[in-house]
A and B are shown apart, each in its own frame.
Chain A
């Protein structure tokens, strides 16, 4: 969220209205009457949401019928696009803003390295921190694209509708996301790393039994014996691994990337369009964080997959509109007279 806000505030490209819009939102918002604008934004939001719903259903169907290659290919291509093309545009705009001279060769080397390391980290193996950093960067890039190309009322409507959709998709018995999570749990597989941000690292891979005995990791057997006495069995056995993989929440919290994108989009939109500037952005930030805390609390209570969007987005939207319209004039007046509360 911090990356998105920083970019919005400094790089004007993302707040300029070029007049271009995504093909998903064909209706324009610079219309004559308020009614027409409302209607257009509703239609835009409806089209966007139906695209998202259709894509989700396709993904779930592909997963259910084990078309892993198609899914992997799709995720591969989309992360390729994000890591190379969008970051190229982003870098270009940042250089333009700060008037930095750059030649194409250096840029090509930078983008190539960035992209390839990103693909490896996300789709294969990599240090956890690096993987987290890359996932954050692509979420921020996606959010920036949305902020630039979605007209204003459409984006607020999309945020509202998508949190309702998230609620339905995860909690209803026939919801696509719930089916996805349950199928993944049944087959005891982790959900694709390109879609999920995980906070902890313990990925217990099933190592072949022959290797374990040689690798003592540098610990002397006496020390290991003593630790095992005090703490219990250190090496993971088949039973403990199966047990651990069945515990959803104990081994670190996982958050979908879509959630990141929409949180960032809300905060970015708040900083781009609010006339109260930083106060509104700050209020939305805190509101989203509190929504996330509440969601995690509910996760700890219910111990099953929960939608992360509704509570945060609701708080965020409420606080955005309330702060922009109510708090901003109040604080402006107080600052004018230098009153402190």
Chain B
């Protein structure tokens, strides 16, 4: 049974990300590098924010439970803000790298576009964020144990898995929208992405009353998916074209 939980939660949490990786990123070495570098930037932001949290905790009274919880919330909020800052920093780095790539290529065209880089960078952030949230939980789910024996929720593993999947995809969409906003110099987009990230993270503070955190997170995810789709050039026309092409292909073959 634990093995079933392990595989189930692993595939729920990492299935979409793995599929995206295998089908769109694995064959292109440049995209793999951008993915890993994105993961690295997320890791850096986490490192700095946990340093700040650690200092705050060490400087405070460890017995005071509500203070510790407050410090944790502060740490989480600071981490979100820092993640967005690092996303911006990564955007600047990728722009520079893009110019360099265009300069050394033959036709002065970069082999990868900004939108592709935005998608890969967002996925990198998402995969790393999901991995750090979920991997220890997954490895614990294999071992012997009872869920919620002290009165906590029974649904710990599965809700963690769903939330991780939502966060991974959300990071991907935020990456696309964020880079697009930076490209077009629309600063309200950046502020909106940061605000939404804070909102989703803040909703998770309502756990373990999962009705407050999971459904809104999924609603926001669907909205972000639509926003990312439209901002990267998709439209209702292209959507219908995809359907029509599929139908045409079936008919004519």
Instruction: Assess the A341–B72 pair: CB atoms within 8 A.
Output: no
Known A279-B135, A283-B43, A293-B36; contact A341-B201, beta-carbon cutoff 8 A: yes
Instruction: Assess the B50–A337 pair: CB atoms within 8 A.
Output: no
Q: Which residue of B33, B46, B207 contacts A293 across the interface (Cβ within 8 Å)?
A: B33
Smallest distance from the beta carbon of A223 to chain B beta carbons, Å? 26
Task: Identify which of residues 13-59 in chain A touch chain B, using a CB-to-CB cut-off of 8 Å.
Answer: none
Instruction: Assess the A335–B133 pair: CB atoms within 8 A.
Output: yes
Q: Which residue of A279, A287, A325, A339 contacts B132 across the interface (Cβ within 8 Å)?
A: A279
Q: Which residue of B80, B132, B201 contacts A282 across the interface (Cβ within 8 Å)?
A: B132
Instruction: Assess the B40–A339 pair: CB atoms within 8 A.
Output: no
Whether B221 is near chain A, meaning CB under 8 Å from some CB there, is no
Q: Give the segment of A67-75, A82-90, A104-112, A326-334 that binds chain B.
A: A326-334
Instruction: Assess the A338–B160 pair: CB atoms within 8 A.
Output: yes
Residues of B within 8 A of A182 (CB): none
Whether A305 is near chain B, meaning CB under 8 Å from some CB there, is no
Instruction: Assess the B76–A338 pair: CB atoms within 8 A.
Output: no
Whether B39 is near chain A, meaning CB under 8 Å from some CB there, is yes
Q: Which residue of A289, A290, A330, A339 contacts B204 across the interface (Cβ within 8 Å)?
A: A339
Provide the main secondary structure of the chain B interface. Answer: helix
Instruction: Assess the A334–B37 pair: CB atoms within 8 A.
Output: no
Residue of B51, B73, B129, B156 most packed against chain A (CB within 10 A)? B51
Q: Which residue of A286, A287, A335, A339 contacts B136 across the interface (Cβ within 8 Å)?
A: A335
Residues of B within 8 A of A323 (CB): 47
Residues of B within 8 A of A278 (CB): 135-136, 139
Instruction: Assess the A286–B133 pair: CB atoms within 8 A.
Output: no
Whether B10 is near chain A, meaning CB under 8 Å from some CB there, is no
Instruction: Assess the A290–B37 pair: CB atoms within 8 A.
Output: yes
Smallest distance from the beta carbon of B45 to chain A beta carbons, Å? 9
Instruction: Assess the B36–A290 pair: CB atoms within 8 A.
Output: yes
- The interface on chain A, measured as residues whose beta carbon lies within 8 A of the other chain's beta carbons, has a size of 29
- The interface on chain B, measured as residues whose beta carbon lies within 8 A of the other chain's beta carbons, has a size of 43
A-contact 0/1 string along B50-78, CB 8 Å cutoff: 11011001000000000001001101100
Cα distance A287–B36 when bound, in Å? 9
Residue of A276, A277, A338 most packed against chain B (CB within 10 A)? A338
Instruction: Assess the A339–B131 pair: CB atoms within 8 A.
Output: no
Instruction: Assess the B69–A337 pair: CB atoms within 8 A.
Output: yes
Smallest distance from the beta carbon of A190 to chain B beta carbons, Å? 24
Instruction: Assess the A341–B131 pair: CB atoms within 8 A.
Output: no
Q: Tell me the nearest residue of chain A to B73, going by C-beta.
A: A339
Residues of A within 8 A of B207 (CB): 337-339
Whether A201 is near chain B, meaning CB under 8 Å from some CB there, is no
A-contact 0/1 string along B178-211, CB 8 Å cutoff: 0000000000000000000000110011011000
Instruction: Assess the B47–A338 pair: CB atoms within 8 A.
Output: no
Instruction: Assess the A339–B72 pair: CB atoms within 8 A.
Output: yes
Smallest distance from the beta carbon of A152 to chain B beta carbons, Å? 22
Per CB-CB distance, the 6 closest pairs between chain A and chain B, nearest first, are: A330-B50, A338-B207, A340-B204, A278-B135, A341-B79, A326-B50
Q: List 24 A-B contacts (CB under 8 A).
A: A278-B135, A283-B43, A286-B36, A290-B37, A293-B37, A322-B51, A326-B51, A326-B54, A327-B46, A327-B50, A329-B50, A329-B57, A330-B46, A333-B72, A335-B133, A338-B156, A338-B163, A338-B208, A339-B201, A339-B207, A340-B133, A340-B201, A341-B76, A341-B129
**Beyond known contacts A326-B47, A339-B205: 4 more, CB 8 A cutoff:** A278-B135, A334-B133, A337-B205, A338-B156
